[in-house]
Structure 1
C-alpha cells in the first residue's frame, strides 16, 4: 500500500468520505423503504405481505452483492463507487407508480449496491485510517449510517405532513443520494490516499482462520434478529398511533440513536469486542420486546433507541473484529460476514410472512428475532471464553 500523508485534514477527509458513502448506501439504498412502507400502504394500497416481499428483494440483492464483493481481484474502491451510483438510479426508479414487479427489481438492485458500498468502504476507508493510526475515526465513518437514516426519516416525515406523494418522496430521496455521491467524489479528489489503490485488491486466495467462522455465524443470527424491527418499526408505530405527527418521529429517532452509538464506541475499548457485541444484542432484544408488552409511544420510543442505538455499534464492532482476525484477507471475511448477515435478514421477513399466512400474530416473529439475538450473544461469550 502506498505511503500516506499523516495530516489531520487527510485523515478527516477520508473518514468523511466513508461517512457520506454509508449515509447514501445504507440510509437511502437499504433503509429508505422502511419509512416509505407505511406511506405506500396508505397511498398505494400495498399490503403488509407485499411490503415484506419488497424487503426480501432488497435483502436478496444484499446477499448477492456481498457474495460478488468477495470475488477475487475486484477493487474495493470500484465496488464503493459503482454501488453509490446504483443507489441513486434504483431509488429514482422507485417513483414509477404501482408496478410491483418493477419495485421488486429496483429494491434488488439497491440491495446489491448497498452491500458493495459497505464492503468497499470497510475495506478501503478503514484500511487507510488504520494505516494513518487514526482508528478512533472508525466510529465517525459508521455514524454515516445513522445520519443517513435520520435524514431519510425526516424527509419522509415532513413530506407526509405536507401531503407529498410517495413518488415525489422517492425522487427527493434519490436527489439526496445524488448529492451525497457527488460529495463523496469531491472529498476523494482532495485526499490522494483514496486514489492510491495499489494495495486495495485484498488477498482473497488464502483460507480464512478456522476461528472466524464463529463470527460469521453470530453475525448471521444478528442479521435475523435485528431486521424485523428495522423493517417494520414505522408500520408498527402507524398501527399503534393514529397521529402521524407522533408515529413519523419513530424512524428519525432510530437513526439518531444509531449515529450517536458509533461516536461513543471509543469509550468501550477497555472491554473485549465480543463482550460488547454480546451485550449490545441483549439491549437490542430488550428493545424488540418493549412494543410487545408496552404497545404505546413509550414502548416504540424505547425500541427505536435500543435497536437504533445498537445495530450500527454491533456492525462496527463485528467488522473491526473481522479485520483484526483476518489481516490482509479482510475483504474476504468482510464479504462472508456481510453475506451471512444478508441470509439472516433475508429469512426474517420470509418467516414473518409465513407466520402471518398461517394465522400467527406478528409478535411471534418478533419473539423469533429476540431468540436469535440471545443465541448469538451466548455463542459470542462462549467463543470468547475459549
Structure 2
C-alpha cells in the first residue's frame, strides 16, 4: 500500500472516532432533549445541566490528557477514549434517573475529550510533506466525523420519536451505542498504525501561552457560544410547533454542511498561520445562531443551518492548524490539550446559562441571541492573534 493511500485510510479511521466522540456523544443529545424533557418533566435549566455535566467531564478529560501525554503517546489515548465513549452512550439509555444521566454525560465528556484532543494531534501528523493535504486532513478530521454523526442522528432520531413517541428516547441512546461499537474497530486500527510514527512520548517544549492569548480567548468564546445552538435549536423548533420532518431536515442539513466544511476552509487554513481563520469561523457561527430568531420561518432556518454547519466544527481545526504552523511537533499534543481545557471550561457555562435565560424569559430564542453576541466577542479576541516568531 502506498503511503498516501495508507494515510487516507488512517484519517478515515480517526474520523470515525470523531463521529462517536463528537457527533454522537456531544450532539445527539440536542435531538433527544425535547423527548427527554417531555417524558421526565425537566426544565430548560435541568436539560442544560446535562450538557454542562458533559462539559465538566470534558474539562477533566482535557486536563487528564494533558497529564497523560507526558508519559504516553497520543495513539493509545485516542483508542481508549473512542472505545469507552461508545460504552457510555449505550449506558445512557439504561437508566432515566437524573443522577445516572448526569454520570454518563460526564463520562462521555471525559472520555471524548481524551480521544478528541489526541486524535487532532494524530491527524496533524499526516501528510506533513504536503501543506495543503495536511490542512485538508486536519479539517476533515474535525469536520467530516462530527458531521457524519449529526447526519446519522438527524436522519433517524426525530422520525423514530415521531413514530414511537417520546418514550423511545432511551432506545435512541442504545442504538447510538450499538452503531458506535460498530465504528470502533476501524478507529482502533488507525490508532495502532500511528503508534510507530509517534515513537515514545518526547518531552514537549514549553507552550508560549502569553503570546497565544488571542487564540485562547477566541476559543473560549467558541466554547461559550456554539453549544447553545446544538443543545437547544431542536427544543426551540419544538416550541415553535415545527413538525418532526422539519427538525430532522434542519439537523441533517447542519450535519451535511459540517461534512462539507473542510473543503470550504482548507484554503484558509493553508494560507493563514494567525488568528484570522478562527475569527472568520466565529463570525459565521454567530450569524447562524441568531438567524432563526431574527428571521423566523423555514427560509431563515435553512440559511441558519447552512451558515452554522459550514463553520462550527472548523474552530477546532483552526486552533489545530495554528498549533501545527507555530509550534514544534512534540508540543502539538500538549498545546491542543491546553486549548481543549480552555474550550471545555467555557463550554460548562454555555448550556446551563442558556437554560437559565430560557427559563427566565420563557423563550429559548433569547439564549440563541446571547450566544451570538458572545461568539462575536470571541472573534474580536481571535483577530488580534499574530503568527508566532519562528524562534
Return the TM-score normalized by structure 2.
0.89
Residues 235-244 or 331-340, more deviating: 235-244
Q: Identify the residue that residue 298 of structure 1 maps to in structure 2.
A: 299
Shift of 1:202: 4.9
Q: Identify the residue that residue 118 of structure 2 maps to in structure 1.
A: 120
Q: Identify the residue that residue 312 of structure 1 maps to in structure 2.
A: 313
Residues 155-164 or 312-321, more deviating: 155-164
Write out aligned runs for 1:64-79 (5 A): 64-71=60-67, 72-79=70-77
Q: 2:123 touches 2:137 (CA, 8 Å); kept in 1? A: no
Select which of 176, 180, 188 maps to 1:177.
180
Distance 2:76 2:24 in 1: 19
Gaps of 5+ in 2: none
Q: Identify the residue that residue 84 of structure 1 maps to in structure 2.
A: 82
Write out aligned runs for 1:1-386 (5 A): 7-71=3-67, 72-130=70-128, 134-135=133-134, 136-142=136-142, 143-163=144-164, 165-187=168-190, 192=193, 194-196=194-196, 198-199=198-199, 201-204=201-204, 206-208=206-208, 210-268=210-268, 269-271=270-272, 274-327=275-328, 328-359=330-361, 361-384=363-386
Residues 327-336 or 298-307, more deviating: 298-307
**What stretches of structure 1 move > 6 A for 4+ residues in a row?**
none
Distance 1:368 1:318 in 2: 24
Aligned CA distance change for structure 1 residues 129 and 155 (closer, same or farther; 3 Å):
farther
Residues 215-224 or 367-376, more deviating: 367-376
Shift of 1:131: 5.9
The one-character-per-residue Cα deviations of 1:204-240 (angstroms, maximum 9, x if unpaired) are 4634353123211210111112111021111111111
Q: 2:221 touches 2:378 (CA, 8 Å); kept in 1? A: yes
Shift of 1:242: 3.5
Aligned CA distance change for structure 1 residues 210 and 131 (closer, same or farther; 3 Å):
farther
Secondary structure at the residue paired with 1:289? helix
Shift of 1:292: 1.5
Q: 2:43 touches 2:359 (CA, 8 Å); kept in 1? A: no
Distance 2:243 2:366 in 1: 26
Residues 352-361 or 223-232, more deviating: 352-361
Shift of 1:28: 1.2
Alignment coverage as a number of residue pairs:
379
Distance 2:122 2:139 in 1: 15
Return the TM-score normalized by structure 1.
0.90
Distance 1:379 1:6 in 2: 43
Distance 1:99 1:150 in 2: 28
CA-atom RMSD in angstroms: 2.3
Shift of 1:338: 0.7
The one-character-per-residue Cα deviations of 1:330-357 (angstroms, maximum 9, x if unpaired) are 1111011111111221111232233345
